[in-house]
Amino acid sequence: MTRSTLLRRPAGLVAQAVALVALCGGISAAYGQSPVAPRSADDRDLFAPARALEVKLDMPEASWDRLRAAGRSLPRVFAGCFEPDFAYPPASAQISIDGETVADVTVVKKGFLGSLSTVRPSLRVDFGDDAHDGRTFHGTRRLTLNNNHQDPSNAKQCVAYELFAQAGLPAPRCGTAHLTVNGVDKGFFTNVEPIGRPFLRRAFGNDQGNLYELTVADFTPALKGAFELKTNETRNDRSDLDRVERALAAPDDKFVEALGTVLDVDKFFTFWAMEVLAGHWDGMTGNRNNTFLYHNPADDKFHPIPWGTDGTFQPHPLLPNVPASVLAYNTLSARLYGMPATRRLYQQRLRMLLDKVWNEDRIIARLRAITAQTGGNAAVLAVTETYVRGRRAAIEAELASQDGRGPEVTGDRPLDAACHETERASGIIDFTWNDATTAFRPVQDVAALQVQIPLPGGTIQFAPGQAAQLATINEQGQAQFGLVGQDATRKAPVFVGIMMPVDNYKVGTVSFHGIETFGVVVQTAGAGGPRPLALIGGGTVTFTEVGRKNGDPVRGRWEGYVVPMPGQPPPKP
C-alpha cells in the first residue's frame, strides 16, 4: 500500500468513529498514575531516582576490548542491510553493585546504532545465564546500563519513561548508575528496568504471551521479519503478527472493528500521542523502532511499551519538516491518521495529555535534578528546556491549522528499500587546531584536500576560494573536524564534518563506529533551512599529526562509505 493510499481522506466514516469511541472505552482515567504494580520486597529499589547505583565490572582486558569494539555498520544499516543475525559477543565478568559482589555474570554490549560506543558502550548484565539458570539480583535477572550517547545531559530517558507512566501506560522504571570497568571510571549511565518476564508480571499480571522488540520493524512484507520475539522463542508462533497485518488490510468501513480485535486501541492512542508529545522520534510511530509489543493473553490484544528514549525532547534529526503534532511513519499510525475520524480521536488524546500530563515546570525540574546528580552536559540541558517550554504552543498551533484538521504527513520511509551498494568517500585532513568552536580558518587550496563524496545529484565539489576548515572540540565535547564551503554542484553552502570522542583523537588509526566516530554532510542553507544530505561510516580515520593548542597542525586521511539521508534516492538501485 502506497503512502498516498494511506493518507487519502475516505468518506463515510461517521459509523466508524462511533465504533472507535466504543472500542476505546472512553478516555482513560489513569492519567498521572502508573499501571505497573509496586516492586517486590526483594527488589531493593535498584531504580531509586534519588541516588545512583555504584557499579564495578572486572573482566580480562582482552574480553573488554572485544566487547566494546563490536557493532553494526552505519552504511549497511542506512542502506537497508539490517544484518538480522548480528549478535554481540558475550563476556564473563565479576560485578559489584553498591559493594555487593556477584561472580560469573554475563556482560553483552547493547544498542542498534545510535548509542554504539567503543569508549563507553551500553551494557546488559545477565545474572541468570546458562550456568546460573534462574539466578537474580534482588529480584532482577538483568541490569541494563545505557550510555546516554545521544543525550549528554543524562536526563531524557528517565523523564520520558516517567511521562509514559503518568499517562497510564506500562513503562520501565528508571534510575542512574556510576560505572567503573577494570578500575577505569566510565561515568554515569541510565539504569533502565529490562523489559522481560518480571516486568510483564508486574505490568500485566502474566508473562505467557508473545513479547516482541521492534528494531526498524513494521507490519509490511519487508519489515515484519524484524519483530524480534523475546518470549516463547522455542515455540516461535508468530501468527499473532499476521492477525495485525490482516487487520491493517481491512477496508475503511471495517478497519476500526478489525483493529480492535488485535490491539488495545485506547492504549495505542495514548502511547502514540505520548511518543509525539515527548518528541520520541526514534520510537514506533516515528522510526518504527525502540518499542516492545506484548500480546497479552488476558485480553488477546497487543499493548505497546516504550523503549530507547534517549533521543526524546528534540525535533526529528533525520527527516526535514516533520510536524510537531504528529508522527505517522509506521503503517498503523499512518492508517489511523489518514482517516478523518481516527485523526480527530488521536488529536483529542494529544490535547488531553497536554492538559493532564505535560507540566513544563515539573518536567524541567526532573531534568535538572538528574543532570545535576550525574554531572551531565548543561548546554544540552538548556536546549532541552527550550524544547519543553515551546512544545505546547507548537502543537496547539498545528492542531488549529488546516481548518482544525491539523498538518498532513508526507514523505515515505526509505527503510523499506532492499539492501543496496554504498559508494566510497574519502579526503585528506590538513587542518589547524582552533580553540573556538565556531571559528573557521580559510582554506587556500581546497583541491589539495581531495574531498570525494558522491551523492545523488552529483559529487560534492567545493568551489576554489570559497571554503574554510575547523578542527576543535564541539559543544558536546567531541573532537570535530569540518570543512565548509560553496558546493559548485548544488550552488549552496555545504558542511562536511567528522566527529569522534576526544579519546580517539591521537596519532594512529581509529575506525568509524556508529554515530560515535562518523561523518556528516549537511547543506547549511536553502529552502527550509539546514538539511542533512548524507552520513559517512564504515571506514577509518588515520592521524599522522595531532595537537590541542591553538594553531597546532592536524594532519591525516579519512575514508569510508557514504549513504544518503532518508528522503533521498540511493546512489545505485
Task: Determine the pLDDT at residue 24.
Answer: 37
Assess contact for 476 and 502: CB atoms under 8 A.
Answer: no
Domain termination site, one of 198, 224, 250 = 198
Give residues with Cβ within 8 angstroms of 122, minimum separation 6: 109, 110, 111, 115, 144, 145, 146, 147, 149, 189
**What are the backbone angles phi and psi of residue 339, rounded to the nearest 5°?**
-110, 130
Task: Determine the pLDDT at residue 282.
Answer: 93
Tell me, yes or no, whether 376 lies in a domain.
yes
- Amino acid sitting at position 405: R
Domain termination site, one of 198, 224, 253 = 198
Q: pLDDT (tens digit, 9 = 90+) per residue, 515-552?
A: 899 999 999 887 667 888 999 999 999 999 999 999 99
Tell me, yes or no, whether 335 lies in a domain.
yes
Task: Determine the pLDDT at residue 44.
Answer: 65
Tell me, yes or no, whether 552 lies in a domain.
yes
Assess contact for 358 and 277: CB atoms under 8 A.
Answer: yes
Residue 23: strand, helix, or coil: helix
Residues 85 and 13 in one domain: no
Q: Which three cell numbers stand for residue 481?
A: 573536524
Residues 361 and 271 in one domain: yes
Residues 163 and 217 in one domain: no
Number of compact structural domains in the chain? 3
What is the rounded distance in angstroms from the CA atom of residue 343 to the CA atom of residue 288?
Answer: 19
Residues 130 and 192 in one domain: yes
Task: Determine the pLDDT at residue 418.
Answer: 67
Domain termination site, one of 370, 385, 415 = 415
Tell me, yes or no, whether 530 lies in a domain.
yes
Tell me, yes or no, whether 36 lies in a domain.
no
Residues 153 and 170 in one domain: yes
The domain of 349 spans 3-30+206-415
Tell me, yes or no, whether 45 lies in a domain.
no
Task: Determine the pLDDT at residue 40.
Answer: 46
Tell me, yes or no, whether 290 lies in a domain.
yes
| pLDDT tens digit at each of 573 positions of the chain | 222 222 222 223 233 333 333 333 333 333 444 444 444 444 568 998 888 999 999 999 999 999 999 998 888 887 877 677 788 999 999 999 999 999 999 999 998 888 899 999 999 999 986 566 778 898 888 999 999 999 999 999 999 999 999 999 999 999 999 999 999 999 999 999 999 999 999 999 999 999 999 988 999 888 888 899 999 999 999 999 999 999 999 999 999 999 999 999 999 999 999 999 999 999 999 989 999 999 999 999 999 999 999 999 999 887 778 999 999 999 999 999 999 999 999 999 999 999 999 999 999 999 999 999 999 999 999 999 999 999 999 999 999 999 999 999 865 554 545 677 789 999 999 999 998 767 899 998 999 999 999 998 899 999 888 899 999 998 778 999 999 999 988 889 999 999 999 999 999 999 999 989 999 999 988 766 788 899 999 999 999 999 999 999 999 999 999 998 765 443 332
Task: Determine the pLDDT at residue 566.
Answer: 63
Residues 273 and 186 in one domain: no
Cα–Cα separations (whole angstroms), residue 546 to 387, 429, 481: 37, 11, 12
H/E element, 383: helix 378-399
- Amino acid sitting at position 13: L
What is the rounded distance in angstroms from the CA atom of residue 394 to the CA atom of residue 144?
Answer: 34
Task: Determine the pLDDT at residue 221.
Answer: 85
Tell me, yes or no, whether 120 lies in a domain.
yes
What is the rounded distance in angstroms from the CA atom of residue 230 to the CA atom of residue 244?
Answer: 18
Residues 514 and 379 in one domain: no
Residues 210 and 345 in one domain: yes
What is the rounded distance in angstroms from the CA atom of residue 555 to the CA atom of residue 432?
Answer: 8
What is the rounded distance in angstroms from the CA atom of residue 424 to the CA atom of residue 392?
Answer: 44
Residues 373 and 411 in one domain: yes
What is the rounded distance in angstroms from the CA atom of residue 105 to the CA atom of residue 93?
Answer: 5
- Amino acid sitting at position 378: A
**What are the backbone angles phi and psi of residue 137, rounded to the nearest 5°?**
-115, 105
Residues 519 and 374 in one domain: no
Residues 229 and 271 in one domain: yes
Task: Determine the pLDDT at residue 388.
Answer: 98
**pTM of the model as a whole:** 0.86
Task: Determine the pLDDT at residue 419.
Answer: 75
Q: Comparing C-alpha atoms, which of 430, 517, 531 is closest to residue 487?
A: 531
Give residues with Cβ within 8 angstroms of 355, minimum separation 6: none
Residues 128 and 154 in one domain: yes
What is the rounded distance in angstroms from the CA atom of residue 468 to the CA atom of residue 431?
Answer: 10
Assess contact for 409 and 7: CB atoms under 8 A.
Answer: yes
